[in-house]
Structure 1
């Protein structure tokens, strides 16, 4: 089947997958550092000195090597390439079904973002768990397939879906807030700017603003998700929240906020920019 004759939802999937590939490869080191910071926190004793983002960067390079900053990129690709494709194809389908060609208002934008992320998040959760474990440095997995077999044989099928509640509490609000701020910010700009040769720069800038806001709001849920997924005990979301607060206070819920905000903001901004440009070239509105 030629691309030109493909279903619009399939085109959206392909555009999303390509945008996810680019952004994942570029920003994987930031995700690894974020996970290491949060993992160090979960295993640190109360009152122990806290490592910073740059200290973790240098530590990974010195103790391992430069390319270890991309540890976990394989499960990231397995997760993000189809995951971002599922996200954008679901987003496109929901928008076409409920809004036709009309641009969403703020509430509709939140609905589209939450709906698309919920579908993609549930579908790709096992690879999210594996990616987190790869990045933590606490597990000696060699491949994605080997990680799946090891987790299934030693911990059961439940381990592949650990942190589902925390993941949804992080990803669904992130996407809802992101799409709302992104779409409404673009609506405030003159149409001759958003449709000009500067459109990619406009899209990226709006994505940066949306990403920062969404990242900070959902940071606590990301810490809880990591805490659960690197722990073989599979504690509940409520127990994980109590443990983090008891051991580290409110500051513990914002551990790794800087690298995560940088990575999520840049990754989302690039993904949406590439996606919108590709969709425009195919004659489709996102």
Structure 2
């Protein structure tokens, strides 16, 4: 089937890509700080003094200058621009095909979000691996293309899909829970608020609530994913990373980096959905 730029799915892709670009640029520092906090677990001894988000933030600024907070923004863009576009176009297509006109129920929303994120997450995983390594500070890749080539040559193409189970266990539930909380929160609002000049504010507020709840539920999978992608040679299976984190750092180790990740995922998701819905409305499409 031939697709033109006027096709609704293409419009959804374009709206999603633009919304993801804006939010990624703004909140990349939080993602970097989150990654640095999580990989500190591999160097700190049990019982060591706890390192917080502010300490990591200041250390990066002191050692890598202010621009160091945006390290990894190139692979983030390479991942986000097509990745968010794939997510929203898949979400839109699934919603138009399988969801009734009155909108998704709670379970339908979970399946919609999880399905769209699974497709986008699998397609963009190689770039996600490179992005995580950029942010870790342990790799000195010169470019995204060069990093992809280096990994293929030295570790094999399989390394580009390291952490796939943990990534999908993080992203699919996050997106499913996010869409459920977001759609149910919007449904609970008075109709006049949704259709008034406060529509963007209402959407953003619902996005903040949905993002905070979804982030909390999926934080452990994010920690496991980071460990595997930064040090794939140490973990042959996802369960090995889980066992290591629990043995060395206890249950709280699975929530390392919760604050910066929650802030970033909450804000980036809320902004992305708000911009996406506004752009789709301007194009005359129901998001």
- Distance, in Å, in 1 between the alignment partners of 2:77 and 2:197 is 31
Asked whether the equivalents of residues 155 and 232 of structure 1 are also in contact (C-alpha less than 8 Å), the reply is no
Matched with 2:147 is 147
Matched with 1:237 is 238
Gaps spanning 5+ residues in structure 2: where? none
Q: How far is the alpha carbon of 1:102 from its aligned partner?
A: 2.9
**Larger CA deviation: 116-125 vs 40-49:** 40-49
Give the number of aligned pairs.
284
Q: How far is the alpha carbon of 1:50 from its aligned partner?
A: 2.1
Asked whether the equivalents of residues 208 and 266 of structure 1 are also in contact (C-alpha less than 8 Å), the reply is yes
- Distance, in Å, in 1 between the alignment partners of 2:267 and 2:253 is 24
Cα 1:5–1:153, aligned 2, differ >3 Å: closer, same or farther?
A: closer
- Listed as ranges, the matches of 1:196-207 within 5 Å are 196-207=196-207
2:23 is equivalent to residue 23 of structure 1: yes
Q: How far is the alpha carbon of 1:192 from its aligned partner?
A: 1.1
Structure 1 runs (4+) deviating above 4 angstroms are: none
Q: How far is the alpha carbon of 1:47 from its aligned partner?
A: 1.9
TM-score (norm 1): 0.97
Cα 1:133–1:5, aligned 2, differ >3 Å: closer, same or farther?
A: closer
- Distance, in Å, in 1 between the alignment partners of 2:185 and 2:103 is 12
TM-score (norm 2): 0.97
Q: How far is the alpha carbon of 1:100 from its aligned partner?
A: 4.9
**Larger CA deviation: 41-50 vs 161-170:** 41-50
- Distance, in Å, in 2 between the alignment partners of 1:88 and 1:32 is 24
- Listed as ranges, the matches of 1:38-117 within 5 Å are 38-117=38-117
Asked whether the equivalents of residues 9 and 93 of structure 1 are also in contact (C-alpha less than 8 Å), the reply is yes
Matched with 1:251 is 252
- Distance, in Å, in 1 between the alignment partners of 2:5 and 2:27 is 33
CA RMSD of aligned residues (A): 1.2
Gaps spanning 5+ residues in structure 1: where? none
Provide Cα deviations, 1:165-192, integer angstroms capped at 9, x if missing partner. Answer: 0000000000000000000110011111
